[in-house]
Structure 1
């Protein structure tokens, strides 16, 4: 794969279209993708990280977005949660002014690159590491919400994105990789609504036909069954445990809602032969939404938290059943902190700390 060219700045265009028009508007400045500067020959993760920091230093990408009802409705249906604030929103539009539930902003400000600008795996390359470190995985992140000023249906919002860091890492099992951290600040009509910091890991491209054990493992689940979400009472837990399973249809719908072309979530041939997974992968962002929805139902009494820090630990695949549960609750002088996990047969898939001020 050839190295990507530096990404041009994107500025905001506001008030030039009616709100009934397409909800995202971008203006590409200056060269408008005419730059032909190529990355130098990259061999190590340290070189890739250094190149990224040089290319994206002091660069901010800004976009505007109308927070429409349709995206929120479709996400609610996809999640099997059609009732919001006591109203079934699957058949009626969400009233203007309705707050967006925590992390549901992930279906707004979705990638807006042309298909020709995407990577071979279908992912957007806005802040991707250069070749050969092109295999992207969602590693974790942190979201901080202003509960007094949530994003609301019917308002114009603005997102500012910048690269925080790119660091070379090495592990015994995976070898060299680049850990990239990106910060997204989203302002609603009343000011800053949330700060969404995301961490991605970029690993070298695999051979075209990996033969590792993970590629040969069978999926322990039923990919023909529909997605399911249910709460169960377990004597060993003080709180209900939520069991989930996402079908290929459910995962495809989430990819469509987030305009995520990453093939590991819907193309089983790609995910097996190019990525070394035994099946299509449940999205990291989907599990962030799952964890926050679970917390809000069990602990939040319908209200959202002030922040969440989370880390992806292991993949889970379409058709596999896994569970969400609360491990512990701790209090500080200012906050109550909930440790929650997504796990499958004792293996942690994602862990999170969710905090709410007291």
Structure 2
């Protein structure tokens, strides 16, 4: 048990370092130029959210849900072969856990944009974007079809910063640990960034993100193009019970939030990034670690390219890592929309 805890501690430190290699903007610690009232609001909320009890949820890995997600990703009608992939005892594909643990929150308790507010800061920090995160799987105990799951969610950190323009941003980090009957199986970490819902500042920041064109550093070994249709975004929203209006309501995304169209979900983009690797794994291999940064938005009906590059094993990686990759997503203009790393291990048989 001690060795497992030490390994996970090392992974957490490495993940924190890896996620910082590509910041969407340059930040500095919150200074006196920020509104004192905003600073007081966040300080009080931070003290309370970090003490909030762990949220415990339960769900079961159902074959039908997985088949629905499979045809959402591939757009093909399921075949008998597809159904066989999700028979009882089959491995749950990495990142497909987003189709489970729907937020059990009534419409009256959602934000005005349809998003759940369980770990969101108070007004005026009402505008949000998905900043990044990661997934770690337990090679000795991966999730399987038919298993009952328990998920523990807690807020692990709140970081208040300013960009060069002086805009205040609140980074909220969450950790979701998922267990099955054998114990720990997967940890999902995610960071969301919240900003003041000031129309002028928000539009200026979004303009920077849309225009930003950070190019990939490497030539890809393998690529595939994804066409994000309105049906794809709607079905993924439905499967993940995500009622955030920016993903399926054009009028809201365009007129209220100022985007050119509906946004592709961060977890959906991540899933596509991982699928290109998962489908080419050798028998017995498993995606163990995945870490990523969201860099710029992707929009409905605008094709994007998934890219992977095999990279060298380095001494800082855990001893069981047998292969590693850089993964990234390029928008139609060739700019980076998401970037990350993936580490492969051998599944450990019980």
Normalised TM-score (structure 2)? 0.77
**Cα separation, 1, equivalents of 2:267 and 2:64:** 19
SS of the counterpart of 1:168?
A: strand
Structure 2 distance, partners of 1:209, 1:267, is: 23
Q: Distance in 1 between matches of 2:36 and 2:55?
A: 25
Distance 1:296 1:84, change over 3 A: farther
**Distance in 1 between the 2:85 and 2:161 partners?**
46
- Do the aligned partners of 2:139 and 2:345 also contact (CA within 8 Å) in 1? no
**CA distance in 1: counterparts of 2:187 and 2:53, whole angstroms:** 17
Q: C-alpha deviations, 1:313-332, integer Å up to 9, x for none?
A: 00010000110112451212
Aligned pairs (5 A) from 1:66-105: 66-80=60-74, 87-89=81-83, 94-105=86-97
* Structure 1 CA distance for aligned equivalents of residues 43 and 226 of structure 2: 37
* Map of 1:64 onto structure 2: 58
**Residues 147-184 of structure 1: CA distance to partner in whole angstroms, max 9, x if unpaired?**
22111121211000111011111113571110000000
Contact 1:139 1:201 in 2 (8 A): yes
Q: 1:81 deviation in Å?
A: 7.0
Decide whether aligned partners of structure 1 residues 82 and 166 sit closer, same or farther in structure 2, where only a CA change above 3 A counts.
same
Alignment match, 2:162: 170
CA 311–301 in structure 1, closer or farther in 2 if over 3 Å, else same: farther
Q: Which residue of 2 aligns with 1:51?
A: 45
Change (3 A) 1:256 1:144: same
Q: Could you give the per-residue CA deviations for residues 197-248 of structure 1, whole angstroms, max 9, x where no partner exists?
A: 1100011114399876968x99xxxxxxxxxxxxxxxxx9562311111011
Distance across 2 between alignment mates of 1:273 and 1:133: 19
Give the Cα separation in 2 of the matches to 1:196 and 1:189. 18
Alpha-carbon distance in structure 2 between the residues aligned to 1:239 and 1:85: 30
Question: Would the aligned equivalents of 1:45 and 1:176 in 2 still touch at CA under 8 Å?
Answer: no
* Structure 2 alignment gaps of length 5 or more: 1-34, 211-217
User: Residues 257 and 298 of structure 1: is their aligned pair in 2 closer, same or farther, counting only changes over 3 Å?
Assistant: same
Aligned to 1:292: 274
Superposition RMSD on alpha carbons, in Å?
3.1
- What is the rounded CA distance, in whole Å, between the counterparts of 1:109 and 1:160 in structure 2? 11
Stretches of structure 1 that go unaligned for 5 or more consecutive residues are: 1-40, 219-235
DSSP-derived class of the 1:306 partner: strand
Q: Which residue of 2 aligns with 1:109?
A: 101
Whether 1:121 aligns to 2:113 is: yes
The structure richer in helix per residue is: 2
Change (3 A) 1:206 1:302: farther
Equivalent residue pairs, number: 299
Q: Under a length normalisation based on structure 1, what TM-score does the superposition of the two structures give? A: 0.76
Q: Provide the C-alpha distance between the structure 2 equivalents of 1:300 and 1:343, rounded to a whole number of angstroms.
A: 26
The structure 2 residue matched to 1:348, chosen from 336, 342, 347, is 336
Pair 1:240-2:222 in alignment: yes
